[in-house]
Structure 1
């Protein structure tokens, strides 16, 4: 991804922690839209938008850029031609906007993303975000008979909900998978493994062929926690993830998590990881993979767009679910982790809160979503919005994976949204040590549990409950 900061904020750690501390010591100014511009509701204007009220939108200028937002703003302008729109984009979201939240003068829409995003835990605990529930209940722009909430992919409302209120719209949709080059696999006669035993057997074959079976983003080693937790969810069921999200005692010590950690640690123990990967960041590791130095890599569905400048012609990357650990797994091989990213919020003190909700409704139209996908090569959380759009081989394989799994076999975890530090710093550090063979799988489980317990015992951190 271009620039020094990716949309997922891979260099986030310390910045987010610092912002969280700052938020804890100052009142952010909660409240409702009592002082915000409003108008009478109607069939055309179900959210009560004041037609000439100014709208201010601030976008995180990361890998997606800002052009997609300008297109959404133009769509809003078509609906409300008398509304002035102020647009700005920055990589310094917290530095730019935190003072405005504190002063009670925030924008109307904020793309709170990147490594310098404002800590969500602080925003939520201070009541600084508007409830987006009216947006969910509003009719969609495409079909007035269908509510906005019924157009979203599975899990998106749950992901953006805190204490029963929908506060954050995660607009981009990411499927997490293990990736391969179909060109390489077809040339070698290899098939993607559906069980862990098959994975290990294939890794031996790949290594014998002079190729590293796996590479990984050593600096951001948490990427390898994703297949571990996915494998654990398949083996033990989604309740394993809910226990982790809810900071339950010994949740990380569940037998399924232990089995998954033990399985993936075998990649390091048996020498199936690319030499030097421990010191690579995400771009370096992904580029090595694109150059054929390794057969597999763990990543999300942004991978194709992120690597488009260096992917060789005919490479044909494809995404696949994690292999099953046992034949008795509770979820099928086809099950995968799918979730939203790129969060958008409407501040509680926004001057045009109703316009902010309407702007999100525009984004969630099929036209708005299709425009986003066409511009940035990423799926959105709007079901069916990519229909008829020419996708690259990577995203094509992702849509196949989504369709094959269906809603019943799509899962996610929320601990990384509830408690950013837990994944970005603590679990990341444990993964770095696990795959560098400095600790065992059993010690990794213990480290992760210890980290979760430290969050649970910290009274300064607001806690959330996943049902």
Structure 2
């Protein structure tokens, strides 16, 4: 993906940052506030129930102890939990009750429970009101998943759970050198559109920026909002698009520098060029009224053929299933190439393991929580998830033989076309304060007349502030 060669000092700094990124969140006086938010970080004897380890019970689950799981009710829905994973767990441990609940506001529902050290066993931490995962890890509230990944797969003979996963999955959920989070859904991000709308108008997905803006003009002429997203809670869709363009212009190391809080990483020429291009798109082809809308409201307008392109991940098709008209035919296009000298091809994609699941270290059934994840990571569990959510998982080959939906078929094709030119970043999970700032800066750029310089300066100031906390 890049021809850049790291010097020994760069490698050292980068490895330290990646290994201790979560520590950087807490090496400040504000860390004292953390215990009030998510519970103390002191080591305490575990009171979690355990059972006897065996070939049939490799994680030593207490087979008659209840396990509590909380699932985020968002784009993926909850049926994959209620109809696939919970029944799988119950079949294995029929005397164990699975206490299940769902929420659309994870932090609102669960922050008090973590503060009182009475958390559920397994949590799907997602949505616009997710908990700060880095702070949870550093506060000692998240269980190390090493034994889960070393355990045998539930239904893939001869392999450990870790060996069944797409390369990079475990690393994506690693903090301080240990795996604490399972990123389960393998998500393809890009520009989503209606295949029917394009077919009816004789349009094709653009691969160059000139083709992109020409198509947006054609949409505008037909009274369609050519490009939009929801400013109220979906700005991260758009900043992801901006940084995808930056990576295409300057190579994936542009994103690595941002991940590692390197000096002036946000002021890189590639980031400025990308912000300039997307700021122009917002000004010319967006809809300022969408600043105050939620994601489903703008997505509904797309289903009504009022919005042309919508930036999102491959959960979109499932999230809109109730409102999508027959024949709409969800499709996804890679972000078009920006310049003739881009370092990555136009087919390059932001594609990565996402949708965080973790086990609470102070839950009543820690090993049961890990066992629940083992069922999610079985081939049957992953296949059932894909069937119900129209989203891939990180379990290699689990979608083989399935009849895929139009959107997922398109995402698979885009992923194949990208080849090795797919990339991702992790700063948004490591540093929630930067995520919050970038959402606001993105809305300013896209909806409120902001400029590329303001965007880059604002984000660099926030990154510098985070780096100073980290380096103390």
The TM-score with structure 1 as length reference comes to: 0.86
Instruction: Pick one of 378, 384, 388 that aligns with 1:375.
Output: 388
Q: CA RMSD in A?
A: 2.7
- Size of the aligned set, in residue pairs, is 440
State the 1:155 CA deviation.
3.5
Q: Matches of 1:381 and 1:79 in 2, distance apart?
A: 22
More displaced 10-residue stretch of structure 1: 381-390 or 124-133: 381-390
Match of 2:402?
389
State the 1:337 CA deviation.
1.0
State the 1:21 CA deviation.
8.4
Q: Please give the per-residue CA displacement for 1:167-198, whole angstroms capped at 9, x wherever unaligned.
A: 11122232111112222222222221112122
User: Per the alignment, do residues 192 and 85 of structure 1 end up closer, same or farther by CA in structure 2, a change over 3 Å counting?
Assistant: closer
Q: Could you tell me whether the CA contact under 8 Å between 1:30 and 1:128 is conserved in 2?
A: no
Match of 1:431?
442
SS at match of 1:227: helix
Q: Please give the per-residue CA displacement for 1:37-60, whole angstroms capped at 9, x wherever unaligned.
A: 334433333323333333222333
User: Per the alignment, do residues 189 and 389 of structure 1 end up closer, same or farther by CA in structure 2, a change over 3 Å counting?
Assistant: same
Match of 1:451?
462
State the 1:148 CA deviation.
1.7
Mapping of 1:107-118 within 5 angstroms? Answer: 107-118=120-131
User: Per the alignment, do residues 94 and 180 of structure 1 end up closer, same or farther by CA in structure 2, a change over 3 Å counting?
Assistant: closer
1:412 aligns with 2:432: no
1:312 aligns with 2:321: no
1:440 aligns with 2:454: no
Q: Please give the per-residue CA displacement for 1:196-225, whole angstroms capped at 9, x wherever unaligned.
A: 122123333333444332223233333221
State the 1:315 CA deviation.
1.6
Match of 1:148?
161
Q: Matches of 1:455 and 1:235 in 2, distance apart?
A: 26
User: Per the alignment, do residues 199 and 154 of structure 1 end up closer, same or farther by CA in structure 2, a change over 3 Å counting?
Assistant: farther
User: Per the alignment, do residues 53 and 294 of structure 1 end up closer, same or farther by CA in structure 2, a change over 3 Å counting?
Assistant: closer
State the 1:154 CA deviation.
4.3
User: Per the alignment, do residues 311 and 107 of structure 1 end up closer, same or farther by CA in structure 2, a change over 3 Å counting?
Assistant: closer
Match of 1:259?
273
Match of 1:50?
62
Instruction: Pick one of 227, 237, 241 that aligns with 2:251.
Output: 237
SS at match of 1:342: strand
State the 1:229 CA deviation.
0.4
SS at match of 2:392: coil
Structure 1: state its 5+ residue gaps: 1-18
Q: Could you tell me whether the CA contact under 8 Å between 1:29 and 1:101 is conserved in 2?
A: no
Mapping of 1:265-414 within 5 angstroms? Answer: 265-269=279-283, 271-274=284-287, 276-406=289-419, 408-414=420-426
Match of 1:38?
50
State the 1:321 CA deviation.
0.9
Q: Matches of 2:118 and 2:142 in 1, distance apart?
A: 13
